[in-house]
Amino acid sequence: MIFNNVYNLNWNSIGVELLPRVLRQPKWAAWLLAVFKPNSNLHTQFINYRRKSNYKIDHTPQVFSMENVLNDAFDQGQRRIYITDGVYLSALYFYNPEENNPVHFYNPEEPEDHPRFYDPQELEQLDVDFVVVLPLEFENVYTEGSPQMLRLKSLVDTYRLPDKTYQIQFN
């Protein structure tokens, strides 16, 4: 960024430079550094917070950006985590009861492949907008309810759009 140098402060040199030349002795310099130590700690916390905030701002819900975030957090060395499109099942029009059409159910003995009818609740559970694919090596560590899986889900939830659904798979 353009203004990164604005936040670079060397508290040791500031303390010594603020002393008059007459008082620039090791004892006074050490005292002044001790006085500035809390400010130095706060400045370090601020720089860390700024770095994390800039990282969050720089990454968006776009696929490449979410892949980068997930790989930065969980697979820095090999960067094997990726995102694919989800499976979309479209609802099939059956008919309204007022139409009095015959109902044909699936018969396993018939050679034809018939369409499958889904309830709206069942369809909601099957449709996902994207799939986060993790390496097979992560399967034993990233179990349902484990701290790693919770961290992964919270990270995905942070960066995904609110109306998007996802699923986690191992491949």
| Whether 75 and 92 share a structural domain | yes
Nearest C-alpha neighbor of 87 from the set 145, 5, 167:
167
Inter-residue long-range contacts of 136-140, CB under 8 Å, 24+ positions, other chains counted:
136/170, 136/171, 138/74, 138/170, 139/170
Would you write out the chain's pLDDT as a tens digit for each of its 171 residues? 567 888 888 988 888 888 889 888 999 889 988 999 999 999 999 999 999 999 999 999 999 999 999 999 999 999 999 999 987 766 666 666 677 776 666 566 766 666 666 666 666 667 788 999 999 999 999 999 999 999 999 999 999 999 899 999 998
> Are residues 52 and 74 located together in one domain of the fold?
no
Q: Do 149 and 79 have their domain in common?
A: yes
Q: What is the pTM of this model?
A: 0.70
Instruction: Judge if 13 and 87 occupy the same domain.
Output: no
Q: Within this chain, do residues 106 and 130 fall inside the same structural domain, yes or no?
A: yes
Domain residues for the domain of 161 are 63-170
Task: Return the closest-CA partner of residue 156 out of 136, 171, 134, 137.
Answer: 134
At 98, is the secondary structure helix, strand, or coil? helix
pLDDT at 162: 93
pLDDT number for residue 107: 64
Q: pLDDT value at position 157?
A: 96
pLDDT on residue 99: 73
Based on the fold, state whether residues 35 and 94 are members of the same structural domain. no
Please indicate, yes or no, whether residues 45 and 75 belong to a single structural domain of this protein: no
Task: Give per-residue pLDDT as tens, 80-124.
Answer: 999 999 877 666 666 666 777 766 665 667 666 666 666 666 666
Same domain? 155 vs 103: yes
> For the chain, how many structural domains are there in total?
2
With CA atoms as reference, report the closest residue to 71 among 147, 156, 131, 139.
156
Which residue, 19, 40, 58, sits at the end of a domain? 58
Q: Is residue 23 domain-shared with residue 105, that is, in the same domain?
A: no
CB atoms within 10 A of CB 74: 19
Burial class (CB within 10 angstroms; exposed 0-12, middle 13-18, buried 19+) of 91? exposed
Structure-token match 């050490």, residue found:
30
13, 47: one domain: yes
Across 33-43, b (16+ Cβ under 10 Å) vs e yields eeebeeebeee
Answer yes or no: do 80 and 160 share one domain.
yes
- What H or E segment, with its residue span, contains residue 160? none
Please indicate, yes or no, whether residues 99 and 148 belong to a single structural domain of this protein: yes
